[in-house]
Amino acid sequence: DGGITQSPKYLFRKEGQNVTLSCEQNLNHDAMYWYRQDPGQGLRLIYYSQIVNDFQKGDIAEGYSVSREKKESFPLTVTSAQKNPTAFYLCASSKAGVGTDTQYFGPGTRLTVL
């Protein structure tokens, strides 16, 4: 089955720790995205990558980092510099990274800071 997987589904972090959220896709999509969702709000873009070894900051990149070493994988690290990291994180991918390409989403990771 083709799709996007995210792991873990739930993640708990102590203050001051870095954590990495996994996102993998087997859709052969070039572009991948990370969004953050807070209760009662829409999705906000953290980082995106249109091609391997290249990525760009979104609207709320501070306190986050990413890498894109493989086409299939786009991990997101939430660093201790992120002041309010508790949220639902969604990964998405699209075919060619152009504005008209449809984005498909993974099931999400819920991060809670203890």
Partner 1 sequence: GEDVEQSLFLSVREGDSSVINCTYTDSSSTYLYWYKQEPGAGLQLLTYIFSNMDMKQDQRLTVLLNKKDKHLSLRIADTQTGDSAIYFCAESRDTGRRALTFGSGTRLQVQP
Tell me which residues touch partner 1 (CB under 8 A). 4, 6, 31, 33, 35, 40-45, 48, 50, 56, 58, 90, 92, 94, 97-108, 110
Q: How far apart are CA 3 and CA 114, in angstroms?
A: 31
CB nearer to partner 1: pick between 43 and 52: 43
Q: Exposed, middle or buried: residue 62 (CB in 10 Å: 0-12, 13-18, 19+)?
A: exposed
Q: Which residues have CB under 8 Å from 51's CB, separation 6+?
A: 30, 31, 68, 97
Minimum separation from the CB atom of position 51 to partner 1 (A)? 11
Comparing CB distances to partner 1, the nearer of 59 and 69 is 59
The nearer residue to partner 1, 16 or 39, going by C-beta atoms, is: 39
Q: Where are the alpha helices (DSSP H) in the chain?
A: none
Nearest approach, Cβ of residue 46 and partner 1 (Å):
10
From the CB of 59, what's the least distance to partner 1, in Å? 9
Tokens 């992120």 locate to 82
